[in-house]
Amino acid sequence: MASPSKDFCTLCKEKDVTSDAVTWCLECEVLLCIDCEKHHTKLRSSKDHKTISSERYHELPSFIKGTSNMCKIHDRKFELYCSFHVCACCVNCVTDEHQTCQTIKPLSDILKQVTSSDAVPLLEKELKDLEKHIEEIKDYLRNRININAMQKTEAIQNIQAMRKSIDDHLNQLEQELLKDLEIEHSKLKPEIETLLHEVDRRAKQIKKLQNDFENMTKYATELQTYIGLKEIKNITSQERNYFNDLKRGFNLNERNLHVTTSPDLASILHDVKSFGEITIDTYPCNVQENLERKDQALYLVPDPTIDQIKPSFSNKLNVPLERSLRIADCCILPDCNYLIVDSVSKDLLLFKNNGTFIRTVLSFEKTPGSVCFVKDGTVAVSFDGEVTLVDINKSQVERNFKFPEVYCSGVSSDGHVLVISMPYEKNVIVMNLLDESKQNLEGIYVNYISLVKGYIYGTNFFNNTVKCYTLRGELLWIFKHENIDKPTGIALDKHGFIYVVCRISNKIVVFSPDRKSCRTILNHDNGMKAPQSIDIDMKSELMLISSSKEDLDPLLFKL
């Protein structure tokens, strides 16, 4: 950010005096002139304060300059940190808004974890790696432009070489083929150039982010660095997801120009009805898919171990007495309200975050099987032979996708794609919600399903396994453990731990992302009676578990 023409001393300005500022105090958060700076360094309370020049201050990113050490509401210094609300607090904040929070810690302890963790070097390395990968993609796209141009030239030469040996009456066919070639090539080049322009634009954004990162690590306070790391991590994660999606999609696929001339042209000119045809064959790009990384590495606070996962009962959903439910699935919404689908009344029911019943969102003609949140107040509900998108606020169906004569079991979404398990067909469908294009992942047998960060997790009820696939259908791993018995529902928390419902044995099992540890965290003693489905909200760390038995209300736990 460019420095303004003049900065005035904050202390002098309070006395209606305009003195040019030369220093910014990171602790007091004021601009100081030369005289005030001298006084500032002599005071016992401020002589050890860290200062930077006013020019350096303006080089800090806006989100760093907007981060204060002081509480804007109570005008007191932040001294505490609430892990549940993920925010710094002053003493008054705790009294006013965090009395029930049991995750209050000294802010100094949190900041020590930040400065001593691997987050800073890891994020710096990720920025450099991302820049490197962007350059690889740019080189690849430039190379594709050159290759397509060479293929075009080669095709023209072949066409013209054949043209010399045939009669003049084929001129029209030749021109038609050249025209087709030009049209197809003109479609290829602008698409790649547009994509290259977008990649280049994002490369510049990453470069700027690196500059912001460097200035932050040099001149920001520990709190500012903590907040800044989260901001830069979010932006970096978005950019990484863009390029991962780019490489998983179809835009980087090779599309090659070819011309196929008729072999009979040389001898049987009068039988030839066309000069040839233009085709484009598509292959996956040869850029290595190495943008993936484990998000756990960048968490500022160390992840819990599997032994630290001890869910505490929060409350249960109070189903109206006049209803007799058989819950097929449950879902936690972003506002922490809850949805359940009832296979008896065929209703979609909405509950408040305190467990009280709100209303029936919609009644269906078919029996609902599974439900998941999609985005913007929309959820997906699966049925036998179809999946429906429902607007919760309007209580109406938005879209309906038909799959005739196919049983749709589990359904999950990340807001961009919808994954639907069809166990009887040994198939999973990945559907793009933007253009409704579908991809069949054949040979995948899973019942319940969960889509998290581009990976498909599913349970197999009959062989007691949990499997993980890419969105292309590539099997990454299979997990089998003696604790996992007749698994149904599946969900993941923000640390990547996988939670599995075991219906017959009345328990909830969790295993670690590296699949080296597994343990039972809830059982019959905790109210587990034929549990059927599970959902976890990563932000609030709430876990909702529903039972397949009638007259058993869903239970809510805090992780």
Confidence (pTM): 0.53
Mean pLDDT comparison of 47-51, 187-191, 238-242, 332-336, highest-scoring range: 332-336
Q: Poorest-confidence range of 99-103, 155-159, 240-244?
A: 99-103
Across the range 219-227, mean pLDDT stands at: 86
Residue 269: predicted pLDDT: 59
357 pLDDT above the threshold of 80: yes
Across the range 178-206, mean pLDDT stands at: 85
8 Å CB contact between 164 and 315: no
Mean pLDDT comparison of 112-121, 132-141, 172-181, 413-422, highest-scoring range: 413-422
Contacts 24+ apart (CB under 8 A), 230-235: 230/300, 231/61, 231/63, 232/123, 232/127, 233/123, 233/298, 235/209
d(CA 139, CA 70): 47
If one compares 226 and 99, the residue with the highest pLDDT of the two is 226
298 pLDDT above the threshold of 70: no
Side chain identity at residue 503, one-letter code: R
For residue 316, what are the contacts with CB-CB under 8 A and spacing of at least 6?
355, 553, 554, 555, 556
User: Of 538, 502, 496, 490, which is closest to residue 517 (Cα–Cα)?
Assistant: 496
Residue 543: predicted pLDDT: 92
Q: Poorest-confidence range of 113-122, 282-291, 423-432, 486-495?
A: 282-291
**Tens digit of each residue's pLDDT (9 = 90 or more) over 313-326:** 888 888 776 667 78
Residue 30: predicted pLDDT: 87
Residue 319: predicted pLDDT: 74
8 Å CB contact between 213 and 246: no
Helix ranges (H only) for 276-380 are none
84 pLDDT above the threshold of 80: no
d(CA 509, CA 526): 13
297 pLDDT above the threshold of 60: no
**What whole-number percentage of the chain has pLDDT above 90?**
29
Chain mean position to CA 365: 34
DSSP string, 525-558: GGT-SSEEEEEEETTTTEEEEEESSTT---EEEE
DSSP string, 176-200: HHHHHHHHHHHHHHHHHHHHHHHHH
At 482, the pLDDT band (50, 70, 90 cuts) reads very high
d(CA 107, CA 80): 4
At 296, the pLDDT band (50, 70, 90 cuts) reads very low
At 299, the pLDDT band (50, 70, 90 cuts) reads very low
- Record the tokens describing residue 254, joined without a space: 């090779």
425 pLDDT above the threshold of 70: yes
Alpha carbon distances (Å) from 421 to 333, 414, 500, 530: 22, 15, 17, 22
Residue 405: predicted pLDDT: 75
353 pLDDT above the threshold of 50: yes
Residue 511: predicted pLDDT: 96
Across the range 159-186, mean pLDDT stands at: 77
User: Of 55, 57, 14, which is closest to residue 36 (Cα–Cα)?
Assistant: 14
Residue 3: predicted pLDDT: 45
How would you class 343 by CB atoms within 10 Å of its CB: exposed for 0-12, middle for 13-18, buried for 19 or more?
middle
Residue 413: predicted pLDDT: 94
If one compares 363 and 60, the residue with the highest pLDDT of the two is 363
Place of tokens 């602790």: 27
The two beta strands, 87-89 and 254-261, are unpaired
Q: Poorest-confidence range of 66-75, 375-384, 519-528?
A: 66-75
Mean pLDDT of the chain: 84
* Cross-strand partners of 313: 557
Across the range 200-208, mean pLDDT stands at: 88
If one compares 491 and 10, the residue with the highest pLDDT of the two is 491
